[in-house]
Chain A
C-alpha cells in the first residue's frame, strides 16, 4: 500500500529565506504526487502535482517540487518565503490518481 512520510513536523524559516519541505513516499510504481497547503481553519488547497514527464513541476504561489525516483522523494521548494506562506503543508500520494494518502504534515512558521 502507498504511504507518505514527511520527516519534519515543524520548520521555522526567516522571511526571504529559501524553503525546502521533505516528502518521501512508498509505492510499487510511480504514483501521482501532490502538495497541498492548509491555512488555519481552512480547507486544502492544491499547490502542485506530478503525474509524469518533467520531474521539476511548478505550482502556484512560487512553489516548485522535484520528483526523484531514485530517492522516492518529492520535496517542495520555494526560493524566498513570504510571511503569508505560514501554514501546514501536506504531501500526498495517489495510486492511479485515485484514493489519496496524506503525510502527517509539516507546519511552517515564518519569522519576520
Chain B
C-alpha cells in the first residue's frame, strides 16, 4: 500500500537556525497537509496545500513557516528561525481529490531545538 514518507525521522537544530522538513506524499494525491504535535499534547493543524498554493492555515502557521512543493514529488515545511517552542513532532499528510477519502499520515519528524 502506498505510504507518505517523511525525512528525517529526527532533526536536531540549534535555536535560530533554519530547518526544512521533507515529505513525499502518495503519488496521485493532490491535497497536502502539515500538522504538529508537541510532546504530550494533541495533534494541531498547521497548513493545507492544494494546486500549488496554501488553501488554509492555522494561527500557529506564522511568518516563520513556509511550505513548498519544489518538484512533482516533495512537499516541504520550512521554519525560518527556529525557537525552543518549535520542538515537536511534525506530521505530513496527503489526500486524494475525492472528498470522501481520509488523509494518510507519515510517521512524522521529531524536531528538537536546542
Contact = CB atoms under 8 A, between A and B. Distances in A.
B102 interface: yes
Contacts of B48: 98-99
Interface residues of A, number: 24
B66 interface: no
Interface of B: 31, 33, 35, 41-45, 48, 55-56, 91, 93, 95, 98-108
Contact of B102 (A42, A46, A90, A105): A46
Contact of A44 (B43, B56, B101): B43
27 contacts: A32-B100, A32-B102, A42-B107, A43-B91, A43-B105, A43-B108, A44-B43, A46-B102, A46-B104, A49-B102, A52-B100, A90-B42, A90-B43, A96-B99, A97-B98, A97-B101, A98-B48, A98-B56, A98-B99, A99-B45, A99-B48, A100-B35, A100-B103, A101-B45, A102-B44, A103-B42, A105-B43
A36 to B, nearest CB: 8
Contacts of A96: 99
Interface in A66-102: 90, 92, 94, 96-102
Contacts, number: 61
